[in-house]
Structure 1
Amino acid sequence: MYPQTLSRPLPGAAALLWPKRAVKACTSCRRDKIRCDDTRPCNGCRRKGFSEAQCIDGCERCRRARVRCEGGTPCVRCTDLQLECFDDQTTLHLPKPATAAGRGAPGRPSERAKLACRSCRRDNKKCEDQRPCGRCMARNEECVHVGRGPKLVKVRCQFCREGNRRCEDARPCKFCVERGGECIDPPRKGKGHGTRVKAACVNCRRDKVRCDGTRPCGACDKKGLQCCDRPSKSSSPIDSRPPAEYDASASSSPELPHASTSQHGYFDLPRSTSTLPHSPDSSPAGPMPFLSLQYHQPPRYTIDTPPQLHLPPQRHQLPRPDRLPSSSSLTGMMESFGRLSAAMDYRDMQRV
């Protein structure tokens, strides 16, 4: 069991809490950028030896400028600058900015300045809606209001466009004056978006520059390159030669015997075309028993690894089409080959 002393509140628990932030710091603490305890006089002013009359909140303009506000209301600074001295509780009669319908609470003014003054825009600082703004008053600068003008589209002149130079808004521009060229604004096409080219050339597509669509285009003409279009996807990469040239090349090339391909992905080698002398002496006279004429089919090879034919050195030249044996001669050679094999088998049987 836990002791009962832990259930009791610790003494001085309020002192261990995070210190509360001041609602509004006094002018002295705000100027020195130190923490104010929100009492009057505060601890910072007591350390500095200020009285309670000197530890004040100050007017709104002095608070924004982070300067000491003295002299009550109106203060000395606002009187010297001929400004209206007011506090947060005092209503300042300023023109209310128009709020967009449907954005935020109804009747709540926007806290962001619509347009910054010239000094704040130059230094890229946050500006206020009032003129003069607090930053210009703190720096004793002239607060010049900058209005919103029409949106201008910067167009380069024709001479700067041809020379790929940066042009100015003034006419004539500086580049045309130095070069002695005529400063003329080119006519714009449509709304300034330009015209899209149907197809750019190969060089403009590679260099990623705009092609004008003419052949040769302006970029290729300046670079001295050959302006050619990219081949379309419909066109095949086959050599575009007339059919007459294909016929001529086919007739000039020797015709090779084609191997027959089977349905299982194999192809048969062509039959041997070697001629053997057929003489009646080579075949035995009389009937030959136990003999059968069988034709042994040559081995098959796969298409991936075709066989290599080793020809003699003197027969490297392919036979001409007109010298190939006809079908009748092939039949006779097969018959003579069968008789020769039968005779050899018969001779081997006699030796055994």
Structure 2
Amino acid sequence: LYAGVSIGLLVLFVGISWICLGIKRRQYTKLKEKYFKENGGLLLLQQLASHAGTVDTTKIFSTEELEKATNSYHESRILGEGGYGTVYKGILPDDKVVAIKKSKGGAPTQSDQFVNEVIVLSQINHRNVVKLLGCCLETEVPLLVYEFITHGTLYEHIHYKRSSLSFELRMKIAVETAEALAYLHSSTSNPIIHRDVKAENILLDDAYTAKVSDFGASRLVPSGQTEIQTLVLGTFGYLDPEYLQSNQVPEYLQSNQLTEKSDVYSFGVVLVELLTSKVALSKDRCLTSIFISSMDEDCLNQILDDDIVNEGNIETGKNVASPFGFSCNPNGHYRPTRKQTMYLHLIKKL
């Protein structure tokens, strides 16, 4: 009798557990469907269908796929962390290694804008821009999946592995970064302003080829426009002073105009970093201000990195310093644009 009761209770317990598990699964599925719709999943599917043949490499991943790829986002898989979120190393079932960006929670996603950016970034095909492979929309904040770049960030190589970057190699990286930005500004269907160009967002592969990455803050410029209004985002030390100051005046006077010249300024800061091996901002001292002052006073030798710029290449170093200085001029009016072939001018100088 007791055995029969025990078996009955066990069957009842198992049955209730299965029912609870089924309810949780259905709730989880509904939650994923809710996030997918809120993040613009239906619109993205529609856009992908209309762009068939041009964005066929873009994939919509499931939460389960990316959890498995990252070992449930284990801390050992973290590649880097920043203001916009955490990047994990992922391994897909076909053994393809990818970088998965998990953004920090915050303001609700503007699904139309997000989908538009995914479509445009998916169509970017440039050897010096990290390729977007796909996304996952079944989470509260969308996840982005990029190609994996093996050799770390330019920042790490400048400030922690200096011996690996010769003057010639640094100039090669400068040219490749310039070509990537010129492409984003002028060669896509809608110009893309990166908005957070910095040494940490330039990756290097095994051949030290530069790859511009992290488009979490980037914005598309609508067709026919040259600037857009937006909140000030970016990294201090690299931020366009005019763009930054526009957010420090009374609200009714704010313009917050973001243009390609904002990227040009940030690019100029990276170039100065390459020549000096100094950080962009240190104890409230701005590297660009020091660099421009050194140019004006004709004492560049005092700020250039002696281990990189020496007697053998000092003249070349001084020749490339001029466009660098123009690029990071605090006054955007004096900064060159793509129309003035600043990037081509730089390449010719190198």
Which structure is higher in helix share? 2
Same fold, TM-score > 0.5, yes or no: no
TM-score normalised over the length of structure 2: 0.21
TM-score normalised over the length of structure 1: 0.21
Which structure is higher in strand share? 2
Looking at both structures, which has the greater relative contact order when contacts are Cα pairs under 8 Å and sequence separation is at least 6? 2
